[in-house]
Amino acid sequence: MTVAVNCPKCDELIDAPNDGEPVRCPRCEILFSLKTKGTYSEGIQTLSTPTTASAPRQSTATLEDEPPRHGTPRSPFPWSAILVVLVGILFFLLIFSVGFNIWFIVQPERGFFNGAARRAEQQANQQRMIAEQAAQQARALQVEAERRQAMQLAELQELQRQLEAVRAELKQRPKGVEPPGKGVVK
């Protein structure tokens, strides 16, 4: 014979055999011993005291100590699968970002922000080359000036030597004699 029993956790009405064996609730799957309310005709009665729906009944008589299971039905939408996919995508993006940053740091000559540094380095190289060319030109001009000065000094010495020779020649001549070529008009 079956007996109508209320589940102590979810208050579900269950048909259970009246042989004293423990019963498992099909809704919340809790295992409990029988507390009979009688047959179906006895099971439908009005209560003398009003009960509140917010206060669930607690069962202390369980045969096995099982953790309480939630009696809520599963959601039809697979949120956990979407969450796993999103975490996977975020993990992939994190790994990609870390790899790109390491590549960017290791090879700075290929970086995006090195254009200004390269231009400054090229300008410095050009200015250094211009300065070296100017220094070479200055050295060449100085060598040319020293060569000209040496030539002029040699000419001056030659002229001084000739002047001394002419003076010596003039001192040796007698006073009334005219130098050669003085009276001849050209």
- From the DSSP assignment, how many helices (H) and strands (E) are in the chain? 3, 4
The segments of the chain whose pLDDT lies below 70 read: 35-71, 73-75, 108-114, 176-186
Q: Give the per-residue pLDDT at 117.
A: 76
Give percent helix, percent strand, percent coil of the chain, each to the nearest 5: 50, 10, 40
* CA nearest to 25, candidates 4, 2, 53, 6: 6
Q: Give the per-residue pLDDT at 95.
A: 96
Residues in contact with 18: Cβ distance below 8 Å, sequence separation at least 6, in sequence order: 1, 2, 3, 34, 36
Q: Give the per-residue pLDDT at 150.
A: 96
Q: Give the per-residue pLDDT at 64.
A: 59
Domain ranges of the chain: 2-43, 79-109, 113-172
Q: Give the per-residue pLDDT at 14.
A: 84
The pTM score is 0.31
